């Protein structure tokens, strides 16, 4: 049996933290995405557009709550 690595809320938060976004432990995907979007707008986050693009290329391996948070809070800001 093969078990795929899913991008869950914790993984998403950790990926954003690795880019320098300060997010409290246990934050939900929506909060994580909102905080990353705010920091990106305020001072920029090096590597964020590429990281989000990479994750979205694997959206079939992403929990719906993570995908929704990215689509709602990050993609609109990264496109402008």
List pLDDT tens digits, range 26-48.
999 999 999 999 999 999 999 99
Q: Which two tokens stand for residue 20?
A: 């320098």
Mean residue pLDDT of the chain comes to: 92
Closest alpha carbon to 32 in 57, 60, 67: 67
Rounded Cα distance, 66 and 25, in Å: 16
% of the chain at pLDDT higher than 90: 82
- Which long-range contacts (C-beta less than 8 Å, at least 24 apart) are formed by 9-15? 9/63, 9/65, 9/66, 12/55, 12/66, 12/69, 15/51, 15/55
Single pTM value for the model: 0.90
Confidence of residue 80 (pLDDT cuts 50, 70, 90): low
């Amino acid at each position: 049996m093969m078990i795929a690595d899913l991008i869950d809320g914790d993984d998403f938060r950790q990926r954003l933290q690795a880019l320098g976004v300060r997010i409290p432990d246990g934050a939900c995907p929506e909060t994580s995405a909102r905080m990353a979007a705010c920091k990106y707008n305020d001072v920029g986050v090096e590597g964020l557009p590429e990281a989000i693009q990479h994750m979205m290329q694997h959206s079939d391996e992403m929990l719906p709550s993570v995908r929704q948070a990215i689509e709602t809070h990050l993609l609109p800001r990264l496109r402008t």
